[in-house]
Structure 1
Amino acid sequence: MGSTRADIDWFIHDRFGLFIHWGIYSTAGRHEQVMSREKMTDEEYRRYFDHFDPDLFDPAAWAREAKNAGMKYLVVTAKHHDGFCLWDTAYTDFKAPNTRAGRDLLRPILDAFRAEGFKVGLYYSLLDWHHPEFTIDGRHPMRDNLEFREAAKDRDMRIYAQYIRDQTRELLTQYGKIDIMWFDFSYAHKDWGWSKGKGREDWQSEELVKLVRELQPHIILNDRLDLPGAGDVITPEQFQPQSWPEVNGKRVVWEACQTLNVSWGYDRDALHWKSSEMLVKMLIDTVSKGGNLLLNVGPNGRGEFEPKALDRLRAIGDWMRLHSRSIYGCTASEFTPPPDCRYTQNGDRLYLHLFSWPYKHVHLPGLAGKIEYAQLLNDGSEIKLRKPDPEDGVHTSVMKSEAGVQILELPILKPDVIVPVIELFLSEQ
């Protein structure tokens, strides 16, 4: 990644953030890209603007739930692909103060999360299906409307690129310190024949990055401007890498962004919800590969987190209350974990996460003689280190220990937590 003055230390320590996708699409209640999916005209989509009335909006409650889940930072959609703006921008009327909400909704969100000690970030869509100069391409809601395409053929992306910079300047000068700027997304590789995708030339990415760095030099910038080397963090989406991602042979700072179900925005009828167990394992897996997890919640049209989302956040929070030492400040370990386990490490503390609970013993390659003490993290109870004895019999056979392998003696019953963690205190070598 590029060499910047971005303050990245807090990011790789905190490891766990909340993504929020919220806008007038939440009123539709069937995916944040409903405008494109259903090929709506501006006039058809207008009904969500006219009826967006988040009367139960309580950002302090959002922040409390996120804090209790163990999250440490926020990224919220200031503007998504539909072009609707949560803040009181001077550059469009398509904004929250002109809905029934009647006010800027971004500022109270940022204030509430800062009050709980969160770092705050802004998501800004590079796409804008509402803007009159955004050219029609294969992702636009009007992609199949030949009459509309003909009428829009003289649109000028240079004007729209200036609009991006104008709004970015607003966000980075009127809303205090912003810790992350999360632009989304480029698709220059796409070619529909009658149109091509958009990338750095369309967004005028170099000028945009220069502006961001001038306004807030310590901000963390993601990697979606189609400008290699300009970002500070790469952001695989709905995908868990097999190992620590590398660019040009070097490990990079990375963040997995994941949903609770199949949608980023509120989707009333979504059935494919990830279980709490899967989400906890996803967090562990991410940190075990040196990454962060940015986990999304899509509030509904009235401004609340739905019950299924709250259930999962609270289950994660229950686990994090007991096991956050194995997440915060941790990263990948050079040791190889046993099957169906993950290691994270923070200095001389190595954390063994057991995705499956074995019977009586777990074998740790390469750790013989290197562990000073071991304990279950959920209750602080000792886990005994088994000293190999070649005379130990297993029925008529001899149980031989492998060279370099440390055996831990486990209780028969799995601790009553989603994923048990054993904290290993490594001895000085």
Structure 2
Amino acid sequence: MYKFDRGNYEKRMEWYTNARFGMFIHWGLYAIPARGEWVRSTEEIPKEDYMQYFEEFDPADYNPSAWAKAAKEAGMQYVVLTAKHHDGFCLFNSQYTDFKSTNTRCGRDFVAEFIEAVRAEGLKVGLYFTLLDWYHPDYPHYGDKIHPMRNNPEYGNENRNFDNYLTYMHNQVREICTNYGKLDLLWFDFSYDDMRGETWRATELMDMVRTLQPDVVIDNRLEVSGEGYGSLATGNPTPYHGDFVSPEQMIPPDGICDVNGNDLIWEACVTMNNNWGYHATDHFFKPAGMLIKKLVECVSKGGNMLLNVGPDARGNIPDESMNILRVIGEWMKKNRESIYGCGKAGIEKPDYGRITRNGKKLYFHLFENTIGPVPLTGIKKEEVKKIRYLGSKAEIPISTSWVHSDYPDIVFADLGPDPILPDEIDTVLEVTLK
């Protein structure tokens, strides 16, 4: 039986806390109606009407190598694909259902191809797997909080056997933990109301996963959803505790700590627009500069960012997302050292930006310039070995100007007379301490 071990936990989390930046991919049948991944629930679509998308699904442009390359070029270090979302459709060849990609027109195991492509790019590979299933006959229908047939009394639960469903769900988790080689990350989704913990036979499930994939990193959603921290935060982790906290569509104001004040590992999962799955009319995309700054914010608070793309029904990542990824990638090529392996600096956030840290290296992220030399608060002049622009490695002298003579205990960096910063999104100063 799996038991929490702090040493083993910290060892398996090393790559994850070093990576800091990953790609989430939500993709499935819902790309055809193109109104988001929850379309069957929000529009209360009966199974019979939803099956038209299963019959039609044939993504001729599906090329996971292109997805993996886009992630790598954007500076991401791991990629997580929705092997199965709430509609129950499987992107892998499960022996326990006919509702799977190998039974569609294309006849392909998308998970197998995805994993091969991501590994080929040298990235860590993860799979998302939902605990819910709106397709399975033994999953609660009428009266469930979110099932598409929740308001239809014709879909009562009298003859449904939830234990049968749990066995089915566990069998599919065993498949993805057995048939596709080593997994680096397993992203369960999600618990709600009384559907949490042992309702999922979570101890049994986690014991199986840890036996089959002893090094896999797992989120906390056997216990919670996008809200809630899970039992690791209580100081008394359950056998099915999550390895990290998974805030959704927000960045914690001050990072996340357990009841004893110790930092917890966390990851903010974030959409580029307002939907996870492809939505044809949702063009409310966050600017690339904003997402770069939010990535920096996550790292400065000790967290990761998992940034989502929702490919269309042909298998293409939308142009808006690709353009954003390219801009992020250009910034990451020059500034990745301020992200990878970095975390909290232990210094109060400056007005002009954020600070990340990796050992003796402090990275001052300038989102805007200052009037006069830049104050590098939290360090002393005698501690500074050198200051460089991270993007060019050009030397930055310590200022000796009279304008800051009233602040002798603060180190000021002299960026010269130009008020325009070299990088309009985020100019990074690398401060090496002695």
Task: Please give the TM-score of this superposition, normalised by the length of structure 1.
Answer: 0.92
Among 379, 384, 387, the alignment partner of 2:400 is: 387
Partner of residue 227, structure 2: none
Matched, 1:212 2:176: no
1:319-366 CA-partner distances (Å, limit 9, x unpaired): 000000101111111122421311111111100001112233111223
Partner of residue 273, structure 2: 261
Partner of residue 348, structure 2: 336
Aligned length: 409
- Once residues 103 and 369 of structure 2 are traced to their aligned partners in structure 1, the CA distance between those partners, rounded to angstroms, is 55
Matched, 1:247 2:254: no
- After superposition, residues 298-309 of structure 1 pair within 5 angstroms as 298-309=310-321
Partner of residue 133, structure 2: 128
Partner of residue 283, structure 2: 271
- After superposition, residues 9-48 of structure 1 pair within 5 angstroms as 9-48=14-53
Tell me how far 1:416 sits from its aligned partner: 3.5
Q: Which amino acid aligns with 2:425?
A: I
Task: Please give the TM-score of this superposition, normalised by the length of structure 2.
Answer: 0.91
Tell me how far 1:2 sits from its aligned partner: 4.6
Among 138, 143, 152, the alignment partner of 1:145 is: 152
Tell me how far 1:400 sits from its aligned partner: 3.2
- Say which is worse superposed, 286-295 or 415-424, in terms of deviation: 415-424
Matched, 1:164 2:169: yes
Q: Which amino acid aligns with 2:336?
A: S
- Once residues 198 and 158 of structure 2 are traced to their aligned partners in structure 1, the CA distance between those partners, rounded to angstroms, is 18
Q: Which amino acid aligns with 2:273?
A: N
Tell me how far 1:294 sits from its aligned partner: 0.7
- After superposition, residues 285-300 of structure 1 pair within 5 angstroms as 285-300=297-312
Partner of residue 221, structure 1: 218
Partner of residue 192, structure 1: none
Q: Which amino acid aligns with 1:214?
A: T
- Once residues 433 and 345 of structure 2 are traced to their aligned partners in structure 1, the CA distance between those partners, rounded to angstroms, is 12
1:53-73 CA-partner distances (Å, limit 9, x unpaired): 100011111111110000111
Q: Is the 8 A contact 1:337 1:364 kept in 2?
A: no
Residue aligned with 2:362, SS = strand
Kindly, what percent of the aligned residue pairs are identical? 43
Tell me how far 1:403 sits from its aligned partner: 4.4
Q: Is the 8 A contact 1:161 1:204 kept in 2?
A: yes
- Once residues 159 and 387 of structure 1 are traced to their aligned partners in structure 2, the CA distance between those partners, rounded to angstroms, is 74
1:75-134 CA-partner distances (Å, limit 9, x unpaired): 110000000000000000000011122111110011000000011111000010000100
Partner of residue 432, structure 2: 425
- Once residues 425 and 270 of structure 1 are traced to their aligned partners in structure 2, the CA distance between those partners, rounded to angstroms, is 44
- Once residues 366 and 344 of structure 1 are traced to their aligned partners in structure 2, the CA distance between those partners, rounded to angstroms, is 13
Residue aligned with 2:398, SS = strand
1:226-283 CA-partner distances (Å, limit 9, x unpaired): 1623111111110101112012122111111111111011111103211101110011
1:162-221 CA-partner distances (Å, limit 9, x unpaired): 111100111111000001111000012xxxxxxxx4112331111111111111111111
Residue aligned with 2:145, SS = coil
Q: Which amino acid aligns with 1:328?
A: Y
Tell me how far 1:158 sits from its aligned partner: 1.1
- Say which is worse superposed, 139-148 or 335-344, in terms of deviation: 335-344
- Once residues 377 and 360 of structure 1 are traced to their aligned partners in structure 2, the CA distance between those partners, rounded to angstroms, is 20
Q: Is the 8 A contact 1:79 1:86 kept in 2?
A: yes
- Say which is worse superposed, 334-343 or 258-267, in terms of deviation: 334-343
Partner of residue 3, structure 1: 5
Tell me how far 1:417 sits from its aligned partner: 4.4
Among 84, 90, 94, the alignment partner of 2:95 is: 90
1:374-405 CA-partner distances (Å, limit 9, x unpaired): 111122222110136xxx3x6xxxx5332421
- Once residues 323 and 159 of structure 1 are traced to their aligned partners in structure 2, the CA distance between those partners, rounded to angstroms, is 51
- Once residues 279 and 48 of structure 1 are traced to their aligned partners in structure 2, the CA distance between those partners, rounded to angstroms, is 33
Q: Which amino acid aligns with 1:312?
A: I
Q: Is the 8 A contact 1:158 1:202 kept in 2?
A: no
- Once residues 27 and 16 of structure 1 are traced to their aligned partners in structure 2, the CA distance between those partners, rounded to angstroms, is 29
Q: Is the 8 A contact 1:319 1:417 kept in 2?
A: no
Residue aligned with 1:57, SS = coil
Q: Is the 8 A contact 1:2 1:232 kept in 2?
A: no
> RMSD over aligned Cα, in angstroms?
1.5
- Once residues 224 and 171 of structure 1 are traced to their aligned partners in structure 2, the CA distance between those partners, rounded to angstroms, is 18
